[in-house]
C-alpha cells in the first residue's frame, strides 16, 4: 500500500520516494506509517468538520447567498490538495 492511495493519489508518494532513497529500515518504516496515519487522521477530522458545518448551514436563500459551510468546504478542498502534495 502506498501512502496517498486513500487520498486518490497515484504512484509512489513523496514520503515513499524520500524514504526509499534513505534505505528501508525499521525506523523508516515506522516513520512512513506515522506520516500515513497523520494524513488519514487529518483528512477524517476535516471531513467530519465539513459535515457538521453543512448540517448547521441554513438552506440557500434565493439570490445565491454563500454560506459558511460553502466557504469552509472550499478551504477544506484547498487544504486537502496541499496534504496530497505532501504525501
- pLDDT tens digits, 24-59: 666 777 777 888 888 888 888 888 887 777 777 666
- Band (pLDDT 50/70/90 cuts) for residue 3 is very low
Length of the chain: 87
Q: How far is CA 17 from CA 48, 61, 78, 82, in A?
A: 30, 48, 24, 18
- Calpha distance 7→39 (Å, rounded): 9
pTM: 0.38
Domain that holds residue 70: 5-86
- Calpha distance 86→82 (Å, rounded): 7
> What is the pLDDT at residue 35?
82
- Sorted by sequence, the CB contacts under 8 Å of residue 49 that are 6+ apart come out as 72, 76
Q: What's the mean per-residue pLDDT of the chain?
A: 67
Number of structural domains in the chain: 1
Amino acid at each position: 500500500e502506498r501512502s496517498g492511495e486513500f487520498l486518490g493519489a497515484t504512484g509512489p508518494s513523496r514520503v515513499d520516494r524520500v524514504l526509499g532513497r534513505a534505505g528501508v529500515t525499521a525506523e523508516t518504516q515506522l516513520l512512513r506509517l506515522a506520516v500515513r496515519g497523520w494524513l488519514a487522521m487529518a483528512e477524517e477530522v476535516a471531513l467530519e468538520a465539513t459535515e457538521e458545518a453543512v448540517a448547521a448551514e441554513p438552506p440557500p436563500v434565493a439570490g445565491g447567498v454563500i454560506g459558511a459551510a460553502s466557504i469552509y468546504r472550499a478551504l477544506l478542498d484547498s487544504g486537502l490538495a496541499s496534504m496530497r502534495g505532501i504525501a
